[in-house]
Amino acid sequence: MTFSLRDQLSNQLRSLRRYALALARNRDDAEDLVQETLVRAISGSRTFRPNGDLRSWLFGILHNVHVNGVRREQVRARGASAIEAMSNGQVPPSQPGHVELMRTMEAFATLPEEQRRVLTLVAVEGMSYQEAARLLDIPLGTLMSRLARGREALRVEMGHRDRAQPSPLRAVR
């Protein structure tokens, strides 16, 4: 509560971008999504109560923007292959665990959208189950099962990838 609006908004901008990336799986689309969210937030700024939850408000707008279909179709067309390019371009190879990171992101991109949403909101953004369920407008039980299935699918996928792809560290000189 002691954070200034400037700080809060900066933090939320980053969170919004992460969530947009998880939904769009493409950096350009994600940026569009965030920008459209901000445009709508500006025009509807009066709907934000002074003591309201900035994060819930902004995520709610972003969610609605994404779900309204027009954008969804565009995003779907560019789809899962884009995230591979995205992770290749964005994760510096010098980053420790770079290969594992890339594999995680690729595996994440293959998950169904509803699982990606829930995983991002709860596991990445740290939302409570209640808050995330309210935002996504789904029952709590549905959210929990999607979360469990998403985590398990990712774990299994990572296991497969680990077995299928030998680590570069083992490469012969």
Partner 1 sequence: MGGDPISLNQDADLHLYMDGEMEPARRAAFEAQLAANPALAAKLHDYLHQQEMLKLGLDMMSGVTLRETETLAGRLRWRLDMDRFTRRVAPLAAAMLLVMGGWSLTVWVQEGGSGPQLAGETDDVPAFADEAVEAHSKAVALSALHPSPPQADATPVPALAQTALAQAATVQTARVPMGADRGMTVALPAIDPELTLIRAAIVPWNHGTALQFLYREPDGELLTLFVASGDPAQDGTLHTVVQDSLRLVYWRAGLVAYTVTGNKADGDLLNVAKRMADSVRRS
Closest separation in Å from C-beta 103 to partner 1: 9
Give the C-alpha separation, 117 to 171, whole Å: 36
Candidates 9-17, 66-74, 163-171: pick the segment binding partner 1 (CB under 8 A): 9-17
Q: Is 120 in the site for partner 1 (CB under 8 A)?
A: yes
Binders of partner 1 among 13-52, rule CB under 8 A? 13-14, 17-18, 20-22, 27, 30-31, 34-35, 38-39, 41-42, 45-46, 48, 50
* Structure token digits, residue 37: 């969210």
Site track for partner 1 across 52-91, x = CB under 8 A: ----------------------------------xx--xx
- Shortest distance in whole angstroms from residue 172 CB to partner 1: 27
Q: What is the 3-state secondary structure (H, E, C) of the chain?
A: CCCCHHHHHHHHHHHHHHHHHHHHCCHHHHHHHHHHHHHHHHHCHHHCCCCCCHHHHHHHHHHHHHHCCHHHHHHHHHHHHHHHHHHHHHCCCCCCCHHHHHHHHHHHHHCCHHHHHHHHHHHHCCCCHHHHHHHHCCCHHHHHHHHHHHHHHHHHHHHHHHHHCCCHHHCCC
Using CB under 8 A, list all residues that contact partner 1: 5-6, 9-10, 13-14, 17-18, 20-22, 27, 30-31, 34-35, 38-39, 41-42, 45-46, 48, 50, 86-87, 90-92, 95, 97, 100-102, 104-105, 108, 119-120, 122-124, 128-129, 144, 147-148, 151, 154-155, 158
